[in-house]
Amino acid sequence: MILAHIIADFLLQSPQTVAEKSRGVLRGYLLHFGGHCAALALLTHPYFSAATAFLWIALPAAHLLIDWLKNRLFPHGHPAAALIFLLDQGLHLLLIFCAWQWTAPPPCVTVTSFYRRLLTPAGSALMGPLFCSKTAPALFTAVIYGFVIFGGAALVPKVLALEAFRLPGPAGRSGGSRRAGRYIGMLERAIILSLTLADAFAAIAFVLTAKSIARYKELECRSFAEYYLAGTLLSTLLAILGGLLIGSARGPL
C-alpha cells in the first residue's frame, strides 16, 4: 500500500495534475484518484478479498479528501509549503497504517493459482517468495528508495522556495535548467543512498565534487552558491538518513 502511494503521488501525478488540484479542477482529482486506484489494485491484487477490494476505492477517496482539505486550507505557494508537504505525507501514511490494521489478508489462492498456471515451473519458483515474510526487507528498501528519490524531488524545491534560499528573479534558473536539476538531484540521492548502504561514505565526496564541477562558474554568484549548498546538503541528508534507516532495520526484518 505504501509503494502504491509512492507511485501514485510521485510518479503518476504530473505537475499539471497538481496544478489542477490546487485550483480545484475536478479533472485533476479524478486523474489522481484513477492513478491511485490502479497502483493500489496492481500491487495488492494477489491478496484479493472483499476488504481489499473495498480499500481500492476507500483509500484513494480518503487520500483525495486529505488533498482537497490541504488545497482549501493552504493555497499554492504558501510560505510553509515544506512543512505542509511533510504533514500531508504523514497523514497519508497514518491512513495507510489504519487500513493495514483493519485488513491484512493472506495471499488469495485463486489469484496465485492463476499465475502459477501461466508461468513455467521456474517462473513459479521465482513468484513464490513474493508472498512470504522474507520479502519484507526488499519491500522496506523499495519504500525508502521511493521516498528518498521521488519524495525528495518534491520536498527539496519546497525548502529552497523559502525566502532565505530563494534566488533573485534575474539570477533564477530557466525551466529547462530546473528540470535538469531535478533529475540530477534524484540520481544524486540514489547514488548516495546506495553508497551509504555499502558503507562507502568516502565515495560520497566524489559525487558531490562531480556535481560542483558542473556548477563551477555559477558558484561565483553568492546567492546561487547558498541556494546550491542548501539543496545539495538537504538532498545528501535525506539519502544518508534513508541508508541508515535501511541499515538499522535489516536486523529486525
**Predicted confidence (pLDDT) per residue in 53-83, tens digit:** 999 999 999 999 999 999 999 887 787 889 9
Model confidence pTM above 0.85: no
Percent of the chain with pLDDT over 70: 87
**Mean pLDDT score, 96-111:** 82
Over residues 44-61, the pLDDT tens digits come to 888 888 889 999 999 999
User: Which residue's entry shows cell 536486523?
Assistant: 251
Residue 227 clears pLDDT 90, i.e. is over it: no
Higher-scoring residue by pLDDT: 177, 108: 108
> Among 4-13, 178-187, 210-219, where is mean pLDDT lowest?
210-219
Higher-scoring residue by pLDDT: 2, 129: 2
Percent of the chain with pLDDT over 90: 44
* Secondary element (H or E) of residue 236: helix 222-249
Could you give the CA distance from residue 86 to residue 118 in angstroms, rounded to a whole number? 42
Centre a 10 Å sphere on the Cβ of residue 72 and count the other Cβ atoms it contains: 9
pLDDT at residue number 252: 46
pLDDT at residue number 153: 93
Burial class (CB in 10 A: 0-12, 13-18, 19+), 9: buried
Set of cell numbers at residue 9: 503521488
Tell me, rounded to whole angstroms, the distance of Cα 159 from its chain centroid.
16
pLDDT band at 170 (very low <50, low <70, confident <90, very high): very low
pLDDT at residue number 6: 96
